[in-house]
Amino acid sequence: ITTAPSAAGQAQYAQIIETARELMGVPYVFGGNTTAGFDCSGFVSHLFNSTGTELARKSSLDYFLQNTTQVQQPVPGDIVFFKNTYIATVSHMGIYLGDGEFIHASSRGIEVAKLDTKYWEERFIGYKRFNDIK
């Protein structure tokens, strides 16, 4: 994808980011997809489902392979993917915030991180967009 989402898509992204920031500090729970606790893909699916895009609960790898298209120039709200975080394949995802930051469910809970830190830079795969976002 080489273009930004439509005005409706960008409005949804703004709502996703606002909701994500409101969830800062919610604890990490493996397999979690509620405000009681999230893992990375549960967090992302919760955000999109709460703003009108129906996503079945899947792993980061499944979302990477099945529901998304690579983005050349990401905009805030696009998805960022990583590999080799706890398994040797696509294993983590978050929401791109712009300015080299993303929000995600880390082992410390929902937090903002920088893409240029050594840990994330070494594991970065790329940016993608859910196919339902036009």
The pLDDT tens digits of the residues spanning 115-128 come to 999 999 999 999 99
Considering the candidates 16, 17, 26, 40, report the single residue annotated as catalytic.
40
Q: 44 near 79, Cβ under 8 Å?
A: yes
What global pTM score does this model have? 0.96
Which H/E stretch holds residue 47? helix 40-50
**pLDDT value for 12:** 96
Tell me the pLDDT of the chain averaged across its residues. 96
Active-site residue, from 71, 103, 104, 133 = 104
The C-alpha atoms of residue 7 and residue 25 are separated, in whole angstroms, by 30
Q: Which one of 26, 39, 46, 92 is the catalytic residue?
A: 92
40 is catalytic: yes
Q: Is residue 10 classed exposed, middle or buried when 0-12, 13-18 and 19+ CB atoms within 10 A define those classes?
A: middle
- Examine the residue annotation and report whether 46 is marked as an active-site residue of this protein: no
Q: Is 63 a catalytic residue?
A: no
The pLDDT tens digits for 45-64 are 999 999 999 998 999 999 99
